[in-house]
Structure 1
């Protein structure tokens, strides 16, 4: 098959990126403008992310697997891997069969496709949600974080509380309302590009009893929930609770929560950054994201150091053994100058 013809097929699949993902990567789910799954063979997980809409960062349909450095491709690769096909002719036949289903290349069809793929969870909607939420102090969101051992929220202005945040398990279910911890996702210039919601139990002592307790919306790739302003040193990890746990003993160190292993591997670096601490989660996706990010940082001259918990993550360490034990564990992994500069006395 001529390369131009294959490129055209991939482009046509990209215009139906979410439909392709729902069909061939059914073990995943949509997160903001991306589809997240374990890998191109449709393994459950979150390390691979597929772009669902065209953006300045690339066309719809392109994907990257953060667990395997350098692993990327398009939707033709997804069809090949998920279906276990060997011959490219069979991949083309399968792709053409998919595209022959009720998607038509008329102008009206293209217009409908653009409308269907327009992300409802946009940066504008994220900014609106964050504006509607209230400061976290004295709310159920603060109660929730304290139940996770997180007692210091200095510099956590990117976190807010919404008492009645909409929740819908899927597009066919009725809308519910639950209290929620709302986090602003920002870019390097501090602009809100997305939001993350953690729905809470009515008393704030845990997460809500629902099937999907956390969801992100908006433009997430490269960005994150920031605590403090990064200068020459930054610590970055996956979850908000994990990062805030590390910050209990490093209250002055700027930190970032990327919200998933895939997004952690893809964060953008401030021009001023000279040293990056990567807060590792002890699971395959966490190890892969950490190694990928360390390689990426080292490749542009940034010193990169992994911080490893004793258990699954630093929040589990904090809740199990307490702040003093966590402090000592982190002290053993930091550069001496950063212990003096950032660690709580």
Structure 2
């Protein structure tokens, strides 16, 4: 019997204690422990079996977002940032010797995050294919977006894992895959938009008929789905479709989609930035996030200028009024030099 197998079995007998200790950002649900990923990110994509059953032995885990699976030794290695089996075995033995009352999180989870959290995101993005000729391209065109403005950050996966809420069942749906990156271009997370395999329809705007057709995982705070290389000017907003709608008529302006109002308020930018355009979603959370981001920009010596849509967001504007109308509306909101520099004159 190998040392690894024996340690894995001993950990499996204490599966819930292992999860509470190393996956402290998760929670128990029925016979499973749910968490975002093997790096202990909050969420519900990864599930660990807490008890042996007809479905398999205790201690086995599966990440429904990526298809990764393994045992509790993998979780010990990932959350502690360990690379050799010797280190993992020492940590596992240390844990097994702890009294039960000491089996609470003792590692610095913030320090443990980083490349490990982005590993699954890197893998999923690498597994996806270019957009051209795929359902992902159909989806973007259905929303009035030019797919050519998104080639660096977006890909398509024909069978991306999806796990419905409150279940361990795993489904597969086609998905638009977006890379979340930091200011240096390193992938830190991933965003998935599951798509209707039957194509685009106006009722669901092309998204799959599931409860949560959009999900993100990984290190998101301060990071974004980024389109183009930033120098002195950047446009930032919440949604991917919102920013791609702007980029359809401003194809050379660098843009960032922060994915939510809270993340927009915390967005990071390079030191070279001099002017920040903030796309404001027309709801209370959108206004609050835009205000917070603009205040941070001004404090950092960056000019902040709001971009306001006529409807709820700029994709609504693009679909309702068309690219030419959106271009005309933006021409009055951009500074004259930026209008001349970035607006797509071919739409005139």
Structure 1 and Structure 2 fold alike (TM over 0.5) = yes
1:34 and 1:262 map into 2 onto residues whose CA distance is 15
Number of the residue aligned with 1:289: 289
**Equivalent position SS for 1:123:** helix
Partner of 1:271: 271
- Provide the residue aligned with 1:344 in structure 2: 344
Change (3 A) 1:129 1:298: same
Secondary structure at the residue paired with 1:135? coil
Matches within 5 A, 1:63-142: 105-107=101-103, 109-110=104-105, 122-142=117-137
Q: Which has the higher contact order (CA 8 A, sep 6+)?
A: 1
Q: Decide whether the 8 Å contact of 1:258 with 1:267 is kept in 2.
A: yes
State the distance in 2 between where 1:300 and 1:111 align.
Answer: 36
**In structure 2, C-alpha distance between the alignment counterparts of 1:104 and 1:300, rounded to whole Å:** 48
Q: Deviation digits for residues 219-269 of structure 1, max 9, x if unmatched?
A: 111111111000000000111000000111100000011111111110111
Q: What value does the CA root-mean-square deviation take over the aligned residues? A: 3.3
1:33 pairs with 38, 41, 51, which one? 41
Q: 2:211 aligned with 1:203, yes or no? A: no
Question: What are the within-5 Å matches in structure 2 for residues 220-299 of structure 1?
Answer: 220-299=220-299
In the alignment, the residues of structure 1 paired with residue 144 and residue 150 of structure 2 have an alpha-carbon distance, to the nearest angstrom, of: 17
Q: How many angstroms does 1:157 deviate by?
A: 1.3
C-alpha distance in 2 between matches for 1:111 and 1:291 = 37
Which whole-Å CA distance do the structure 1 matches of 2:168 and 2:113 have between them? 21
Q: Give the match for residue 88 of structure 2.
A: none
What's the offset of the Cα at 1:171? 5.4
Structure 2 CA distance for partners of 1:155 and 1:180, relative to 1, 3 Å = closer
Give the aligned length. Answer: 260
Structure 1: which 5+ runs fail to align?
1-11, 23-28, 36-53, 56-102
Q: Which sections of structure 2, spanning at least 5 residues, go unmatched?
A: 1-19, 30-34, 44-78, 81-98, 201-205
Q: Which moved more, 1:168-177 or 1:221-230?
A: 168-177
What is the Cα deviation at residue 154 of structure 1?
2.9
Q: Which residue of 2 aligns with 1:75?
A: none
Q: Where does 1:298-337 land on structure 2 (aligned, <5 Å)?
A: 298-337=298-337
The 2-side partners of 1:305 and 1:112 are apart by 42
**Cα deviation code 1:57-99 (max 9, x no counterpart):** xxxxxxxxxxxxxxxxxxxxxxxxxxxxxxxxxxxxxxxxxxx
Q: Which of the residues 178, 181, 185 maps onto 1:186?
A: 181
Deviation, structure 1 residue 111: 7.4
| Offset at residue 273 of structure 1 (A) | 0.1
Match of 2:64 in 1: none
CA separation of 1:118/1:175 partners in 2, compared to 1, >3 Å: closer, same or farther? farther
CA 1:324–1:127: 2 relative to 1, 3 Å: same
Structure 1 residues 201 and 189 mapped into 2: Cα distance closer, same or farther (>3 Å)?
same
Report the alpha carbon displacement of residue 155 of structure 1 after superposing the two structures with TM: 5.0
For the residues of structure 1 that align with 2:108 and 2:264, how far apart are their CA atoms?
Answer: 30
Query: 2: distance between equivalents of 1:118 and 1:168?
Result: 24
- Asked whether the 8 Å contact 1:227–1:256 carries over to 2, the reply is yes
CA distance in 2, matches of 1:244, 1:155: 7
Distance 1:17 1:145, change over 3 A: same
- Give 1:325 shift: 1.0
